[in-house]
Structure 1
Amino acid sequence: MRNLTNIKKQLDLLVDYIKENPNILALYIFGSYGTEYQNENSDIDFAVLYERMPSLNDELSLEVKFSEILGTDDIDLINLNKASLEFKHKVIYTGDLLYSRDYLKLADFKENVFKFYGDYGITMKFFYDDYLKGLNENAL
């Protein structure tokens, strides 16, 4: 479980802010922040799922607003709509959902990610196993 008590107030302000944006479907926090792996170099990682693809200006404006609310530039804001399948899976599987505007649309998104990742994951495991085998052979 992620411990976010030190930034609870700021997270509440972030959620209040994104509730005003009808294009944001969901907000996740992921990564090491608030976990046992957090250290002095840990940034705060967020992932945003949009209803429609935002403009670059909208994405940058959102990141600036997050920095203002949190009082730090040490954040990463990832657009889940653009992320790789592996990354989407990682966020859903390891991250914590902070906000969802529409649970049905979020459920559809998650279902698609898990469905495709299930097929893709098998192929990737073979690839990584073969890659590691090649590394071990070259190390001899």
Structure 2
Amino acid sequence: MTYKTPTIEEFGELAQQLPEKIPYLKMLVLFGSRATGKTHANSDWDFAALYDEQLREESCRGFAWFEVPGLVGEIFNINSDKIDMVELNRGTPLLNYHVARDGKLLYEKEPGEFLNFQRQAWKTYADTAKFRKAQQRSIELWLQRWGV
């Protein structure tokens, strides 16, 4: 099968199929090198999804949530082997911050969902700065102790 790389504009049009295929999807964001334009020949596709957890529990039986990268690949005409999918519901403050900062919104079920996510991600990132600094200092001390 041949895959043609879609443009961001084409993503927007194709994303209209998402609610039918993934009814529990609240938001889908492209992030990483494809969103920033810093791609290379082997760049993968990084997608971040926000789910309605209650609807997801009702909709997904067994391991059905593993179908999401395949469905996204099918909709956007991307080889699913090249897709990395992260769940924003379970994302770390650092990951969510990068998605909020650099991500390109492809789909949101409710207008303003991405803006609300960005606000919360930035707030959480700021609130956890002291922990990242303490962790960095601890690592630096450990490296010094071991002469690295």
Same fold per superposition (TM over 0.5)? yes
Residue 28 of structure 1 is matched in structure 2 by 29
Give the TM-score normalised by structure 2. 0.74
Q: Say whether the 8 Å CA contact 2:12–2:107 is kept in structure 1.
A: no
Q: Which amino acid aligns with 1:19?
A: P
The change in CA–CA distance for 1:137 and 1:94 in structure 2 (over 3 A counts) is farther
1:40 is matched with: 41
> Identity over aligned residues, as a percent?
25
From 42, 56, 63, the counterpart of 1:57: 63
Runs of 4+ in structure 1 off by over 6 angstroms are none
Letter in 2 for 1:7: P
SS for the counterpart of 1:76 is strand
Mapping of residues 85-104 of structure 1, within 5 Å: 85-104=93-112
Say if 2:30 and 2:47, in contact at 8 Å, map to a contact too.
Answer: yes
CA distance change for structure 1 residues 100 and 40 in 2, over 3 Å: closer, same or farther? same
Cα shift at 1:52: 2.0
Mapped to 2, the partners of 1:34 and 1:97 lie a distance apart of: 10
TM-score by length of 1: 0.77
The gaps in structure 1 that reach 5 residues or longer are none
Aligned length: 136
Whole-Å separation in 2 of the counterparts to 1:22 and 1:107: 21
Find the aligned partners of 1:81 and 1:125 in 2 and give their Cα distance.
24
Amino acid at match of 1:38: T
The aligned amino acid for 1:37 is K
CA distance in 2, matches of 1:67, 1:94: 21
Match of 2:128 in 1: 120
Structure 2 gap segments, 5+ residues each: none
C-alpha change, 1:139 and 1:37, in structure 2 (3 Å) is: farther
Pairwise CA RMSD: 2.7
Counterpart of 1:19 in structure 2 is 19
